[in-house]
Amino acid sequence: MFTLQELNRAAELVRDVVPPTPHYNWPLLSEGAGCDVWVKHENHTPIGAFKLRGGLIYLDELRKSGEPLAGIITATRGNHGQSIARAGAQFSLPVTIFVPHGNSVEKNRAMRAFGAEVLEFGSDFDEARVEADRVAAERRLHFVPAFHPWLVRGVATYALEFLSALRDLDTVYAPIGMGSGVCGLITVRDLLGLKTKIVGVVAENAPAYALSFEAGEVRETNSAATFADGVACRVPSPDALQIILKGAERLVRVSEIEIVEAMCAYYKGTHNLVEPAGAAPLAALLRERGSMKGRSVGLVASGGNVDASVFRQVLDGKIPGA
């Protein structure tokens, strides 16, 4: 997908906007999981999520391609949209973003604050994506997909930081939304010649990637009814799935209450706000704590963007929307 030299060039560009995020060893998380836990804090980027890295590289490559641009358009549940909105502002490009009805109010506000036009359509991400694609053709806008090699190369810079610093990690757990983050992690692991096992994490209520991994081919679902909006996928990317099939050790499904408990564990153990998708890797580790005992484990806290109303329910031990 890219070479180590290309990745290093991407890292140089990303660092101008996103300083390297910290990785911390948290004693209380390690105690709860029964192993040595290191967290890569992508909730500390300028948009509160790892996605910004991908948006910067995608729009830089688009600019270099010389394609005449009236503007760009995409669909999102929030973090990808914030990435494109922030990168669009960086490159002085007008941005239109489609979100489903009922999307995170605070993520919508953040995208608008970066200058994007935010429009609501459909009941979930996939319906919003289809409409964004239609409007792209109608308005002659460039459609930015949720999975693309340029996006993967950008977000892979977090993995380069993490795995270069901690080369002896036994396993890293990472959430899977559309797949750019975990595919970047797998690719960097291979480029660095490491033996680290990569475990993808999905929500039980949005199992499309897990079903596809088990079948060895894309399996769509009719619903992705999880409050973990960052992993609410119904239609996996075939390209992402191929990388995951070749490079992931396994995929773990976690329940809504396990995600709630992991978010609480993050807050109580680190005083970090980690969004539901970002907490899913910790939920998976806690589920597998018996088999991971005594090992050195990495967790990708992919973002910290969660509405205050949702987080209040989480701290009360409730499943939002249940």
Positive or negative CA dihedral for 1, 174, 302, 271?
negative
Q: Supply the pLDDT for residue 138.
A: 96
In this chain, the answer to whether the domains covering 4-50+149-315 and 52-143 adopt an identical fold is yes
Alpha carbon distance 164, 61 (integer Å): 25
| Contact of 115 with 137, CB cutoff 8 Å | no
Segment (H or E) for 289? helix 289-292
The answer to pTM > 0.95 is yes
Q: Phi and psi (nearest 5°) for 165? A: -80, -30
* Closest of 175, 316, 197 to residue 257, by C-alpha: 316
- CATH 3.40.50.10860: does it fit domain 52-143? no
Q: Supply the pLDDT for residue 322.
A: 76
Measured CA distances, 276 to 179, 194, 222 (Å)? 16, 29, 21
Q: Supply the pLDDT for residue 321.
A: 85
**Series of mean pLDDT values for 10-residue runs along the chain (322 residues):** 96 97 98 98 98 98 92 96 96 96 95 97 94 96 97 98 98 98 98 98 98 98 95 96 98 98 98 98 98 98 97 97 80
| Contact of 17 with 60, CB cutoff 8 Å | no
Q: Is 251 helix (H, G, I), strand (E, B) or coil?
A: strand
Q: Supply the pLDDT for residue 250.
A: 98
Alpha carbon distance 96, 117 (integer Å): 5
Q: Which CATH class name applies to 4-50+149-315?
A: alpha beta
Alpha carbon distance 261, 255 (integer Å): 10
Q: Supply the pLDDT for residue 104.
A: 94
Domain boundaries, the chain: 4-50+149-315, 52-143
**Cα 104 versus chain centre, distance:** 16
